[in-house]
Amino acid sequence: MGNVTVIGGQWGDEGKGKIVDWLASRADMVVRFQGGHNAGHTLVVGGEVYKLSLLPSGIVRGTPSIIGNGVVLDPWAFRDEVQRISAQGIAVTPDVLRLAETCPLILPIHRDLDALREDASGAGKIGTTRRGIGPAYEDKVGRRAIRVCDLAHLGELDPLLDRLCAHHDHLRAGFGEPPVDRARLKADLSEIADFVLPFARPVWKDLDEARAEGRRILFEGAQGVLLDVDHGTYPFVTSSNTVAGTTGSGSGTGPGAAGFVLGIVKAYTTRVGSGPFPTELHDEIGERIGERGREFGTVTGRRRRCGWFDSVLVRQAVAVSGITGVALTKLDVLDGLDTIRICTGYRIDGQAFDHLPPHAADQARVEPVYEDIEGWSESTAGARSWAELPAQAIKYIRRVEELIRCPVALVSTSPERDDTILVRDPFAG
């Protein structure tokens, strides 16, 4: 039995939380390896709803969970989420949850900068969550980040603050803002340190021991491949690499640790915020999909844009992330549609394209080429076997497999964890 990496195969919000929760019952450890609290995973267990942003989805099952070094951590958001989930009856202790001591911290100044930039960008807005994710990653690669381990050495913080503030004070001045309040920042960090530090560990050692013992590790990605800073629809992307190859660098394991790469994709397409969306629907069908799928962001509450399944983009995601199999979610949202469309290619100024070109000007001129498939009137909600699916629903799934050149390993038919059809066991490789 090997490891499994779960990533989003579209623009995020594909239902990774439920799938990770479902797989976590058979894993020995669950690891978040990138992103921040801009991620949003909703789990429904026995009618109880758990909304996670930073915590790995395995925490709800009590599976030992790790937040890896590739995550940027807002320590105050971390505390709030731990306390909220604990209040729902889930034990979140250092015995169950471990935090990489080298995680960069998201600070109030990062949130400030994120909002200032968005407000000043006009038509160039990216549509960030304004939670400081991007600025925190910038400081990480600029070698001026304050990390979790620094919370244990607050007396030696001044040289780090000199470097950090030299950068941020100039940026803030450009927006007409006062310099960083260093005393307030140090006081805030001192206040939160005692809560965070008990969770901090050299998690790479825990993972090394787990691998040596043959334990099954489930790596949990945030966002989706189409939001990857290198491979996504730039600049309307997140600030980290969301592809499966990031498991190693974001957790402290080698590149071979990823194992079976499970890409989560909806049976249709959604995205939040700005950016290209070739199959977006602006009609009553788009409204119906959004309402039936409850397409509102877990983190922001923003309404998601909805459209038909885009096999071109998913095929691209499969290729650049080495996806082994996909989990098709929210199939039941398509119940009752007379005709279902799948995008099979693009045209730009009459020229055929089998991929999305990288430049925004070309992307804006993309016209989707559709294939129509007969829908089904029967309900797929709650189905747990192929035998419970209508023939046309199975036909739709098989056509998706052909177009994306990747097999379907699981099918999800409701938010409930057990309403899942297992086609291929990811842990079996």
Alpha carbon 97 to chain centroid distance?
19
Q: Which two tokens stand for residue 360?
A: 């925004």
C-alpha distance from residue 299 to each of 38, 233, 303, 342 (Å): 6, 21, 11, 29
**CA-CA distance, 156 to 15, in Å (whole number)?**
43
Cα–Cα–Cα angle for 398, 402, 406, rounded to 5 degrees: 100
Does residue 429 contact residue 416 with C-beta atoms inside 8 Å?
no
Tokens describing residue 398: 């098989």
Gap between the Cα atoms of 75 and 152, Å rounded: 14
Q: Which residue from 380, 225, 388, 212 is spatially nearest to 310, judged by alpha carbons? A: 225
How many residues make up the chain in this entry? 429
Secondary structure element (H or E) that encloses residue 66, with its range: strand 65-67
Catalytic annotation present for 13: yes
- Cα–Cα–Cα angle for 121, 124, 125, nearest 5°? 70
Q: Name residue 297's amino acid.
A: G
Two structure tokens written together for 187: 């006081």
Q: Catalytic site residue 310?
A: no
Distance in angstroms (rounded) separating the CA atoms of residues 258 and 248: 7
Residue tagged active-site, from 21, 37, 41, 150: 41
Q: What are the Cα distances from residue 235, in Å, to 36, 38, 140, 403?
A: 18, 17, 19, 27
Q: Catalytic residue among 13, 74, 332, 419, which?
A: 13
DSSP assigned state of 153? G
Dump strand ranges (E) for 93-138.
97-100
Residue with tokens 């015995």: 95
Catalytic residues: 13, 41
